[in-house]
Amino acid sequence: LTAANPGMMTGPGTNSYLIGNAAQGVAVIDPGPLLDAHIDALIAAAPGPIRWILCTHTHLDHSPAAALLKQRTGATVYGMPAPAFPNQDQDFKPDHVLTHNERLDIAGQALRVIHTPGHASNQVCFLLESQNLLFTGDHIMQGSTVVISPPDGNMIEYLASLRLLLDYKIDYLAPGHGFLMDKPAENVDRILIHRQERENKVMAALKRAGQPASIEELVTLAYADTPERLHAVAQKSLLAHLEKLRTEARAVLNDSLWSLAP
């Protein structure tokens, strides 16, 4: 079920997924934003009692409905605690804190937890092992690349988390936004190539600037292929690229101005 929260950052809206049946109960993955109509729709669509609520991460379009859905169903909430940033759902309180590679027996199915930080430090994916189907949250979206927004977002961690998926048997991706995707390895490679191409453009922008430059100046160069109305959002991922380059000693930050490392 897709929540009625379409937008520039959410595409058609946040996808919530239901797994289970009347006999074994139902799990909800990513109950979404705090929208009463969407919570009603989840309860109505469930073929049995909702006993588990799983959140891939705690951005405000994925987890806020968990508390009310738990209140109405008595379900157990699974996830990682919210980082201490304003764009995170600070009201999210998991009953069970997830760990990497943990195997959950839920709704008669085995779900493997894969910790994939980068978009968010507490982002996890859930692998439905019987179908080799990966619920990706915002780690991979259909039709768009995800925004990596420091300080909680981290480009180095994001790229490593993408490569981590290649270690698992995955046939399909069920993203938090957009539609079901096949050829997961090709999609991972596509994103890795895109991020490398963008990094190359960031390096070229630093060279072209020729002197220490602000984020606002660099975004017009590194994201010249992106509509100007999106540059405010692009600055977030640009900062993530620059922070990666600084960690690798390829860029320098002084007084809010960026330049190539000597």
Q: For 56-115, how does the pLDDT look when each residue is reduced to its tens digit (9 = 90+)?
A: 999 999 999 999 999 999 999 999 999 999 999 999 999 999 999 999 999 999 999 999
pTM of the predicted protein model: 0.95
Q: Which fold would CATH assign to domain 17-182?
A: Metallo-beta-lactamase; Chain A (3.60.15)
Predicted local distance difference test score (pLDDT) of residue 165? 98
What value does the mean pLDDT of the chain take? Answer: 96
3-state secondary structure of 46: coil
Whether 7 shows a pLDDT value over 90: the answer reads no
Determine what percent of the chain is predicted with pLDDT higher than 70. 100
Whether 163 shows a pLDDT value over 90: the answer reads yes
* CATH number, domain 197-260: 1.10.10.10
Whether 144 shows a pLDDT value over 90: the answer reads no
Q: Where in the chain is the domain with CATH 1.10.10.10?
A: 197-260
Residue of higher predicted confidence among 177 and 143? 177
Cα 39–chain centre separation:
21
Predicted local distance difference test score (pLDDT) of residue 8? 83
- Number of neighbours of residue 259 by Cβ within 10 angstroms: 16
Q: Where in the chain is the domain with CATH 3.60.15.10?
A: 17-182
Whether 201 shows a pLDDT value over 90: the answer reads yes
Q: For 17-47, how does the pLDDT look when each residue is reduced to its tens digit (9 = 90+)?
A: 999 999 999 999 999 999 999 999 999 999 9
Determine what percent of the chain is predicted with pLDDT higher than 90. 96
Predicted local distance difference test score (pLDDT) of residue 9? 83
CA distance 64 to 193: 33
Give the angle 197-165-116 at the CA atoms, nearest 5°.
85
Predicted local distance difference test score (pLDDT) of residue 169? 97
**Which residues are CB-neighbours of 258 under 8 A, at least 6 positions away?**
206, 212, 213, 214, 215, 218, 242, 251, 252
Q: What is the band of 143 on the pLDDT scale with cuts at 50, 70, 90? A: confident
